[in-house]
């Protein structure tokens, strides 16, 4: 009688029929754990919106939108009605300004540049005036009696209709860009003398802060070589016609 050899021995059979135990849990890999904060940061950054722009406060000299656009010039005062609030003037993006019809692009860039200057306190002439009424500021001369022989004279801004003697030191403020010449003459941009020589007055004027654009000579930098070459040809042609060549 032939004996058949079993495929599995008793030990292998017990191992195969034994119940499967759950695999032990392992701590997360350091690499995976180090990546999880990064992924959360990316997720949070993708959901955040654009930060709110900082809005500067109006000043006594620049109290509203129309005055700001008037002093920086470039014809921007014609767009004053397009900005409903002071906050809108300093928060709209370049694309939004284009939608409002502020063209060409260099005009938008110019407005954005002046917004940044104003935010940083980089004002034009008269920007530090503290006593302004209806767009006008009075300047007076304050004499220092520290040296009776040669008293120093300063240009100060005082409330409208008042003299230096009627004001306390707290009510007067020094003004940049203006000086005293002679006995009692105040000189400086947009300063017009008052009647009787009692100081001067500065009035808000269109373009008083404007950055003047340079005058292009011979077509500007890109076309200058070509235009000057054509000019030389024309000059030599005229000289030949006159018989000078």
Domain that holds residue 70: 65-119
Question: How many whole angstroms separate alpha carbon 107 and alpha carbon 112?
Answer: 9
Query: Does the structure show a pLDDT above 50 at 35?
Result: no
Determine how many CB atoms are found less than 10 A away from the CB of residue 175.
24
149 and 195 inside one domain: yes
Mean pLDDT for the stretch of residues 2-14: 57
201: pLDDT confidence band, cut at 50, 70 and 90? Answer: very high
108 lies in a domain? yes
Contacts of 153 (CB under 8 A, 6+ apart): 141, 142, 143, 144, 180
Question: pLDDT, tens digit, for every residue of 60-83?
Answer: 999 999 999 999 999 999 999 999
Strands (E), the chain: 136-144, 152-158, 173-174, 179-181, 185-187, 191-193, 200-203
Length of the chain counted residue by residue: 245
Q: Model pTM? A: 0.66
Widest CA span in the chain:
146
Higher pLDDT, 221 or 167: 167
190 lies in a domain? yes
100 and 156 inside one domain: no
Query: Does the structure show a pLDDT above 70 at 46?
Result: no
* Domain total of the chain: 2
Query: Does the structure show a pLDDT above 90 at 131?
Result: yes
Which range, of 17-31, 94-108, 117-131, 194-208, averages the lowest pLDDT? 17-31
185 lies in a domain? yes
- Mean pLDDT (the chain, rounded): 83
239 lies in a domain? no
Spatial CA neighbour of 205 closest among 108, 146, 136, 111: 136
């Amino acid at each position: 009688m032939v004996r058949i050899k079993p495929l599995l021995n008793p030990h292998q059979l017990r191992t195969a029929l034994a119940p499967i135990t759950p695999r032990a849990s392992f701590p997360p890999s350091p690499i995976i754990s180090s990546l999880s904060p990064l992924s959360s940061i990316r997720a949070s950054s993708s959901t955040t919106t654009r930060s709110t722009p900082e809005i500067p406060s109006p000043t006594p000299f620049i109290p509203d939108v129309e005055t700001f656009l008037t002093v920086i010039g470039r014809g921007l005062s014609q767009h004053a009605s397009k900005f409903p609030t002071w906050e809108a003037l300093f928060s709209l993006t370049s694309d939004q300004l284009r939608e409002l019809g502020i063209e060409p692009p260099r005009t938008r860039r110019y407005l954005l540049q002046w917004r940044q200057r104003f935010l940083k306190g980089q004002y034009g002439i008269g920007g530090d005036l503290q006593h302004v009424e209806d767009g006008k500021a009075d300047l007076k001369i304050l004499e220092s009696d520290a040296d009776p022989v040669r008293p120093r004279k300063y240009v100060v801004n005082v409330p409208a209709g008042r003299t230096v003697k009627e004001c306390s030191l707290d009510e007067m403020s020094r003004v940049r860009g203006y000086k005293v010449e002679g006995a009692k003459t105040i000189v400086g941009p947009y300063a017009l003398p008052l009647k009787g020589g009692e100081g001067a007055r500065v009035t808000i004027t269109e373009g008083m802060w404007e950055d003047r654009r340079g005058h292009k000579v011979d077509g500007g930098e890109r076309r200058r070589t070509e235009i000057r070459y054509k000019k030389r040809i024309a000059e030599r042609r005229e000289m030949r016609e006159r018989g000078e060549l």
